[in-house]
Amino acid sequence: MKILVIGGGVSGLAAAVHLGRAGHGVTVLERDDTPMPATADEAFEWDRRGAPQVRHSHAFLARLRNLLRDNQPDILDALLAEGATEMRFGDGLPPEMEFTPEPGDEELVMIACRRTTFEWVLRRAALAEPNVTIRTGLAAIALLADAAQRNLTVNGVRLDDGTDLHADLVIAANGRRSEVADWLAGVGARPVNETVEDTGIVYASRFYRLLPDAGLPPRSGPIGGDLGYVKYGTFVGDNRTFSVTLAVPSDDDELRKRLSDPAAFDAAARSLPATAPWLDGRAEPITSEVHLMAGLLNKWSDYVVDGQPTAIGLVPVGDAVVCTNPLYGRGCSTAYWSAHLLAVAIAEHPGDVGAAAVAYDEALRNEIHPWYRSSVEQDREARRVAAAMLAGEDPYGDASDPRAFTRSILRDGLAPALRTDQVVLRAFVRNLNLLSPPDALLTDADFGARVFAVLQTKDQRPPEPSLGPATRADFLAALPAA
């Protein structure tokens, strides 16, 4: 089958590698026309204007690592050879936790890597495939379609230089701002159903590299936290790099402006217990500026409606079909996962792109859509909390509000249990890494019983360690004068 992939990011390259290795002829169209870097550090300077998020923090979860291990082990090996590392469950656990390895722990392995390094290694693998061609500096601007058939069929794309390219299947991998829904409308296809909800955050990231004689801080505590007025996290990269991300409510103009200043950003990170050890003199910045990103959406696009594709011959992958709050670190993992699900559907329905699209849509709904719903629900509550705190109100002031009880469970039950109970931690880490459904923790009776048992002892132990300044005003006071 002849396949065109619009977009050369993670999902597009993943689709190309999967399908090229399955024997299909694949052409990837990438708008950015930049030379292929020679090293991981050169890749960090890659001019990827079509993917502005590449110099923000990224997580490469166990779901993604296991897909590579099971399907493209050579790519996993190449990542490790280029300086990425594996972070295994059981390493760096809290000292008060008794730990006994169990079957299945070998699945709980994340990849520590910069997004640019991951994409560079993935593109290198795609370029090495004899069935894959990557054409850079070319932008698709419209779809080609045959409306004479019973079902409208997409059969190619038109490029910005006026060239028409034909194919048996077009894969939309052109990101969260994909124009494919408009292109489909332009050829008379049925509307794509899109559900969009703002995440309510703006996030800021800065990258650092450890000094030659320095090591990473001990991995025995939290790597992030949520204070309502700011969320934050540390992400280990490849080749002795790491990044810190601070996310603030999108309507908090003051904090957003202050954190865009590198000195204020570093001061903010030093005021937070989980990030302070990383900026204690052991590292130096490798980005001179703070990278900001706004307009972050939770978005789901239905390209199959009432069991029928909006157009035969076109399918989306990655952010073109599902976006979630990047702070949860799921984007690259779900992008690669969606490409894998598409390749499986095509293999199960050889020569029938319509049937493959329907099977792929069903797999997306069963496996990835629940994570979209989870992100939407988490962000709605986070927006409520942030708005109350910005207004100087206590978001949990009403003790009769069930949300106040839920917060107590998280703060006084789950948080301490994660430091002392390996069963709770293991289940939590599996969930974090997309290896169990989003609601798995709520339906796990043993997990719930263990958390509640810890909750009952809250009056017999010291208060929980602080995750940072108690109020937004205290946080602002820790920053240098504007």
Asked whether residue 123 falls in the same domain as residue 228, the answer is no
Residues 320 and 309 both lie in one domain: yes
The CA-based diameter of the chain, rounded to the nearest angstrom, is 75
C-alpha 156/C-alpha 137 separation (Å) is 18
Q: Which of 342, 7, 299 is nearest to 174 (CA)?
A: 7
Q: Identify residue 375 by its one-letter amino acid code.
A: S
Q: Please name which of 239, 230, 247 lies closest in space to residue 290, comparing C-alpha atoms.
A: 247
20 within a domain of the structure (yes/no): yes
Question: Is there a domain that residue 391 lies in?
Answer: no
Distance CA 118, CA 83 (A): 10
Q: 161 and 303, same structural domain? A: yes
Same-domain check for residues 210 and 191:
no
> What phi, psi does 420 have (nearest 5°)?
-125, -20
Asked if residue 285 and residue 218 are part of one domain, the reply reads yes
Q: Which two tokens stand for residue 439?
A: 């609601």
Same domain, 360 and 307: yes
Whether residue 200 contacts residue 241, with contact meaning beta carbons closer than 8 Å, is answered with: no
Residues 219, 339 share a domain: no
Q: For the whole model, what pTM was predicted?
A: 0.94
Same domain assignment for residues 165 and 217: no
468 and 414 co-located in one domain: yes
Asked if residue 68 is part of any domain, the answer here is no
CB 5 within 8 A of CB 339: no
In a domain, 70, yes or no: no
Contact 26, 131 (CB under 8 A): yes
> Token pair 């090293």 is at which residue?
39
Inside any domain, residue 383: no
Contact indicator for 35, 137 with CB cutoff of 8 Å? no
Ranges in the chain, pLDDT < 50: none
Residues 191 and 218 in one domain: no
Domain of 124 in residue numbering reads as: 2-41+118-195+296-372
161 near 205, Cβ under 8 Å?
A: no
Q: Quick check: is 67 in a domain?
A: no
Nearest one of 199, 50, 75, 209 to 136, comparing CA atoms: 50
Q: Of 293, 319, 345, which residue is a domain's last?
A: 293
- Asked if residue 273 and residue 300 are part of one domain, the reply reads no
What is the reported pLDDT for 53?
Answer: 64
Bridge-based pairing of strands 109-112 and 85-88 is: antiparallel
Residue 425 half-sphere exposure toward CB, CA atoms < 13 A: 25
So what's the pLDDT on residue 55?
Answer: 67
**Residue 455 placed within a domain:** yes
Using an 8 Å Cβ cutoff, are 233 and 205 in contact?
A: no
Neighbours of 444 (CB within 10 A): 17
pLDDT of residue 380: 92
- The pLDDT assigned to 45 comes to 87
Residue 36 CA neighbour count, 13 Å, CB half: 15
Single out the residue in 293, 327, 351 at which a domain terminates.
293
Same domain, 327 and 190: yes
End-of-domain residue from the set 357, 372, 387? 372
Contact 4, 132 (CB under 8 A): no
Q: How many CB atoms lie within 10 A of CB 65?
A: 24
Segment 33-74, tens digit of pLDDT: 888 999 999 999 887 665 666 667 888 999 999 999 999 999
Query: How many structural domains is the chain composed of?
Result: 3
pLDDT, position 47:
75
Taking the CA of residue 194 as centre, how many other CA atoms within 13 Å lie in the half-sphere pointing to its CB? 21
CA–CA separation, 138 vs 383, rounded Å? 39
Q: Are 259 and 204 a contacting pair, CB within 8 Å?
A: yes
* CATH code of the domain in which 275 resides: 3.30.70.2450
The string of DSSP codes covering 104-136 is TGGG-EEEE--HHHHHHHHHHHHHH-TTEEEEE
Is residue 368 included in any domain, yes or no?
A: yes
Within 13 Å and on the Cβ side, how many CA atoms surround 99?
16
Q: What CATH number is given to the structural domain containing 314?
A: 3.50.50.60
DSSP code for 93? -
